[in-house]
Structures are given as structure tokens and as C-alpha cells.
Amino acid sequence: MDDDFCLLAEELSEYIEEHTSPVESLLSALDRDTHVNVLCPRMLSGAYQGKLLEFLSRMIAPERILEVGTYTGYSAICLAKGLKPGGRLLTIEHNPELEERIRAYLGKAGLSDMVELRIGEAAELLPELPEAGFDLVFLDADKAHYAEYYPLLKRVLKPGGWLLIDNVLWNGKVWSADAKDKDTRAVRDLNRMVLEDPEVENVLLPVRDGINIVRKL
């Protein structure tokens, strides 16, 4: 686990990972490949968070999942494990240089027919999606636009659906009075929007860099 993205004590983090079910060999290979060959590998969900995403998806048993921010496909593979038979996952990635690697690993995971990858900007693609079309949404994209994405994602989420938002603690910067960069401001704005939104309820978990679990009422 990347220390920059974990606010827990190192010993506690290690104990948690050691006592969490291990991931499959394909995900381990994707983890290694990403760290060796792709810029900013700390953006990868990783084993512990990936297992949590898998478990949440299995508990929800969604028919339709939307992911914003594919990166190399690790979280998409984890989330797809919880799909109902015949279910589909749509994942959006803005970086076309990652497309070949994403499709390769989706193929190795046997998910090519279940997962649709769209390359493009989320702000342009999200308004085109059907209203209330998804049971589960995972947001792990550019932080500067988090507050902009939030209403768009609420629109496509079914009543009673779930929104998982990653990096909501932003390496501890969200409660630092000295942090004034645009990403920190955007994450702060998003956290406040969720908390003050009467149409949702939420719980913010200190998993890795923070995951906000939001349920649309």
C-alpha cells in the first residue's frame, strides 16, 4: 500500500492487509504491471480497497454499474464480480493511452462482454447516460471536477442506489487549514455537498485515502 494514500499507522495497515482475503493472481499481475509501466501507480485501487469494492458490489448485486475513472482496470474487475447474471458495467477513462492495457486485462478476466469501456471526458459523456440507469456508481477521477460530477452522477443513479466516492480524505489535506490547492478545495466542496444534500445519506470510511459511501433516497 502506498503510504501517501494511507492515513493509518503502517503496522495497522499491514495487519489489516495480512488478515484480508488475498486477491487472484490476475489482479496481482495487473498491480505489478501498473507499478512498472504506468505513470502514477498509486492511483490503483490495490488489494485491500479492491477487495472492499468487490464485497460491496456483491452485497448490492447490481444489474448496472457505472465507473468514472478506469485507470488500468483494477477496480472495474473488482466491481464486476458483484454483477447479477446478465449485468453490465460501463467504465469511463479520459486517457486513450491506457485503452489497450485496460482491454487486455478485461479480456484476461473474461469480462470483455460484461464491461463497456468508453474513452472520453466524463463531463461530456455523463449527460448522455440515461436517468436513473445505474444501481451502483464508483467515482475515482480527476478531483478538481468532483463537485461538478456529483449532480450528474446522482441523476443517473436509481433511487436506493449507491455511489462510492474515492479519495475523499485526500491524503489528510481536507482538514488542513493550509491546503488551498484546487483539488483539495474540490474534494472539500464535494464532501460538504454530500453531507448537506437532503436527497442522500452517507458514511465516510477511512479506507486507504477515504471512501464516501452514499445512498440515494
Specify the pLDDT at position 1: 40
Specify the pLDDT at position 10: 83
Each domain of the chain, given as residue ranges in start order, spans: 3-216
Cβ neighbours, 10 Å, residue 159: 9
- What distance in Å separates the CA atoms of residue 184 and residue 187, rounded to the nearest whole number? 5
CATH superfamily of 3-216: Vaccinia Virus protein VP39 (3.40.50.150)
Nearest CA to 115 out of 50, 155, 162, 66 is that of: 66
**Long-range interactions of 172-179: CB distance < 8 A, separation 24+:** 172/7
**pLDDT tens profile 140-181:** 999 999 999 999 999 999 999 999 999 999 988 998 877 778
C-alpha to C-alpha distances, 116 to 50, 53, 60, 129, 167, nearest whole angstrom: 19, 18, 20, 13, 24
Q: pLDDT 10s per residue in the chain (217 long)?
A: 444 566 677 888 889 989 999 999 999 999 999 999 999 998 999 999 999 999 999 999 999 999 999 999 999 999 999 999 999 999 999 999 999 999 999 999 999 999 999 999 999 999 999 999 999 999 999 999 999 999 999 999 999 999 999 999 998 899 887 777 899 999 999 999 999 999 999 999 999 899 999 999 9
What type of residue sits at position 97? E
Provide CB contacts within 8 A for 149, sequence distance 6+.
Answer: 68, 122, 123, 126, 139, 141
